[in-house]
Amino acid sequence: MSSLLEILHKEVVPAEGCTEPIAVAYAVSLAAELLKEEITFIKLQLSGNIIKNAMGVGIPGTGQTGLPIAAALGAVVGRSHKELEILSNLTPAELKQANELLDRGLLEVELKDTPEKLYIEARVYSPNHTATAIIAGEHTHIDFLALDGEKITPPKSKADCGKPGLSDSGAYAGSVDRIFEFIDAVPFQDISFLLEGARMNKAISEEGLRGNYGLQVGKKMSQKSAVNLFGNDIASRIIAATAAASDARMDGSAMPVMTTAGSGNQGIACTLPVIALAELLGKDKEMLARALALSNLVTVHIKHYIGRLSPLCGSGIAGGVGANSGIIYLMGGSLAQIKHGIQNTIASLSGMICDGAKSTCALKISTSTNAAIQAATLAMNDIAPTTKDGVIFEEVEDTIRNMERLVQEGLADTDTAILNIMLSKGGVM
């Protein structure tokens, strides 16, 4: 990891809609754009994690959920250059055309037996040609592109711009110490771009608080009523603001979000608590930018060990740990207290599983935000777990690495079990 600033530029990017179905739309679009004839069939082969995270989530601008409409739109819109914002400015005509494609039964989805957690293979057929696009490892990493079996050099993706990311394990040398040193030393102008992400994520939070999205977790928490047990304290306002953004995003809001490490919900989870607290405390833009740099980089650091897609909830665990670090920084905490906060948050959230992208993500994010605030309060009082406590080790980096062991050794079959449970409900793809 040669430059933490480069990591920020690569891993903090905008997206419209849940990144898994949007990545499917992107793959289909890449293949469809190679064909100059009418599309006669689309075949998708997807890893279990892609299916799990795309089955129940709302697709922006459609009022529909799941993989089929995302894939069909990818075949129709023809703007793969927009990558994770491929469905922005969707028109009624495009939606109608996509639904007609589905009505004709031109889409088939299969589970791919692959060790790669993030794998999308899209084959698009026309009367005389077949085009193939494979996305693997990262949501916009084009692993293979071909027309009639002849390999084509893919367009340069933002994810492949030569800058290292959390997937670059051979170059990875991240640590909480290094991140803390960076955020104190980096010139403000170099990280001021993070403020655009703050504006973007705050906007979708406000939309979630206004509208009736999903389970309305954030909205109902923020309303004064006889059945609301939450008060109007700082913690409740931060949790409500964060959950509301996920409510809107998971229910198909067409507003963009600033993602972190390939996930919009991770971006929401690690930034909105920091944004909300900075506003409540009256912090200036520079302090906010530094806190956001910290929260994003700590989230990326945790995700390096959990994995891009995982049986553990990245938004809850990685996003919660990142938010906790940013909260402590805004409260004037030291590096030692930030480490205490990470230990506290992992002790609280380490067992949170991922059962796909859907409306209940807002519940998990509200839980993780609450845990992050609680953990920060303890850390600011110099309280942290000891080595006698579960997965916690004395050194914070060892505790973080234990998340990788938990995924690889302890939860090896969890994704399969979760996916089988989801598929048992029938009609979900």
Distances (CA, A) of 227 to 58, 223, 244: 28, 10, 18
* pLDDT, position 172: 59
> Domain coordinates of the chain in residue numbers?
17-160, 174-423
* pLDDT, position 272: 98
* pLDDT, position 148: 95
Angle, alpha carbons 160-165-168 (nearest 5°): 90
Same CATH fold, 174-423 and 17-160?
no
* pLDDT, position 231: 80
Q: Cβ distance 375 to 345 under 8 Å?
A: yes
Bridge partners (DSSP) of residue 120 are 46, 135
* pLDDT, position 113: 92
Q: Pull the structure tokens for residue 19.
A: 């990144």
CATH number of 17-160: 3.30.1330
Bridge partners (DSSP) of residue 246 are none
Q: Cβ distance 387 to 20 under 8 Å?
A: no
pTM for this prediction: 0.92
> Which DSSP category does 171 fall into?
G
CA dihedral 159, 165, 171, 177 (to 10 degrees): 160
* pLDDT, position 176: 97
* pLDDT, position 162: 43
* pLDDT, position 278: 98
* pLDDT, position 157: 64
Residue 18 to residue 256: CA distance in whole angstroms: 10
Residues of the chain below pLDDT 50: 1-2, 161-171
Distances (CA, A) of 1 to 162, 174, 298, 304: 12, 7, 14, 11
* pLDDT, position 56: 87
Place of tokens 């529909």: 64
Distances (CA, A) of 413 to 3, 127, 184, 416, 421: 35, 41, 41, 5, 13
Please name which of 260, 392, 242, 373 lies closest in space to residue 314, comparing C-alpha atoms.
260
* pLDDT, position 378: 98
Q: Which residues contact 412 (CB under 8 A, 6 or more apart)?
A: none
Residue 285 to residue 278: CA distance in whole angstroms: 9
* pLDDT, position 235: 95
CA R_g for the chain: 21
CATH top-level class for 174-423?
Answer: mainly alpha
pLDDT tens digits, one per residue of 96-112: 999 999 999 999 999 99
